[in-house]
Structures are given as C-alpha cells and as structure tokens.
Amino acid sequence: MIHFRNVSKIYSGDVVALRNINLDIQHGEFVSIVGQSGTGKSTLLRLLILEEKPSAGKIFFREKDLTSLGHREIPLHRRRIGVVFQDFKLLNKRTVFENTSFALEVAGRSSRDIRRNVSQILEIVGLAGKSDKYPTQLSGGEQQRVAIARALVHHPELLVADEPTGNLDMINTWEIMELLLRINKLGTTVILATHNKETVDRINRRVIALDKGIVIRDQQEGKYMI
C-alpha cells in the first residue's frame, strides 16, 4: 500500500531529517514508528500526508507516486488518510457532532448522510452519548476520541497518528490504543509515531525504529527497544 524508495528529507539549514528511507507497509498493518526526539518520525508522517515533499526519492501510495500528484489529486489523496495529532486540534466553539461532521459538510454531503455517518463513527469511538457536548466539557481522552472520529469520517484507508497519547495519562493512553487497534481490525491501516514504550511493548505489532533519520530496526511483533 505504501512504499518509500530512497527517501531523504533535508529541511532548510541543511537539517537532514530522513536519510535514504526504504519501507513497505501493507494494507491492514498496524505500525509503530519509534525513536528519540528529532529522529524524523513526524517528518515521515508529514511526507505521507503531503505536508512536506521529499528532497530525494519517491513515495508510492496505492501505486501512485505522491511526488507527482497534480493539484486536483492532492485533496483526494488527503481524504484517503485520517490524521490525529498530540494536541487534538478541535474547534472549541463546536460540539462533538459538529467537530466530527465538519469535513463532510465542507465536502457538501447531505445532512441525512452526515447524521448517519457521524452517529456511526461516534458509536465506534465510544462517544455516542456526548454528541452535543463541547470539547471543553470533555476529558483529554474523550477529546482525542473526537479527533479520531473526525479523522475517520471520510472512511480513510490509512490512519496516521502522531503522538496521539502524548497528552494523556496511562489509562486514557491505553484506551486510545485499544481504539486504534479496533479501528485497525475494522480494516484501516494505522501508522503511529510514539514515545510510549509500555503500549508499544504491549501490543506486539510491527515496530520501525528510527535513529537520526535512518531506519535502524524494522520488526514484526517488535518492541520499543531491543
């Protein structure tokens, strides 16, 4: 589904964030990207969602070379990927329902379609009873669930999560991880950048370890550290 071929990313000021990355991620995988701060995890994710362009190499997503997408194809590509961040980036003046439905409204979907879709997704993330609440009335874990609901609303093939549990306590962290695993089980490929050793060790899924922009380890059923 995803192929990185000799991908490097050099930011301005000669900061080498990724060096000659080669990776293949299959549809349906759950992949954790681990490594020290500044080692290129977020950069790797940003390349996938086209927030950054590689300085060298190619990235293929479902056989398409992302570096050669035309202007019109970029929004379509982005809709195929749901994105979740450490800070939930919710709209505080909008309810849970509105935060989740926003992207569908922008896409011009009918209100019936939107209601059905949003209810289904709020059910999946365990927020069915909270659709009229505002983000400030929710716990951190619940806010992250809203962000996940929003990311899922287009039924993306891939969910990219950059430190989604970075602001959460241990219990909420594990609940969010369980939710990500469930979403993965329902068929969505998940790529997670994380510092959370306990959860990576507990879930026993593929682990890609980066060090200074290089893949130093790529293991199925991997651990945070060897």
Give contact residues for ligand ATP (rule: CB under 6 A).
11, 15, 17, 35, 37-43
Distances in Å between the Cα of 139 and the Cα atoms of 15, 142, 162 are 37, 5, 19
Nearest residue to Mg ion on Cβ basis: 42
Quote the Cα angle for 197-88-125, to 5°. Answer: 80
CB of 56 to ligand ATP, least distance (A): 15
Contact region for Mg ion (CB under 5 A) — 23-31, 37-45, 54-62, 217-225?
A: 37-45
Rounded Cα gap, residues 180 and 125, in angstroms: 9
The binder of 15, among Mg ion, ligand ATP, none, by C-beta within 5 to 8 A per type, is ligand ATP
The binder of 27, among ligand ATP, Mg ion, none, by C-beta within 5 to 8 A per type, is none
Interface with Mg ion (CB under 5 A), residue total 2
By C-beta, is 40 or 135 nearer to ligand ATP? Answer: 40
Neighbours of 107 (CB within 10 A): 13
Rounded Cα gap, residues 58 and 6, in angstroms: 7
Token pair 């929003």: residue: 150
Give me 171's structure tokens. Answer: 């219990």
Identify residues 42-61 at the interface with Mg ion (CB under 5 A). Answer: 42
Interacting residue ranges for Mg ion, rule: CB under 5 A? 41-42
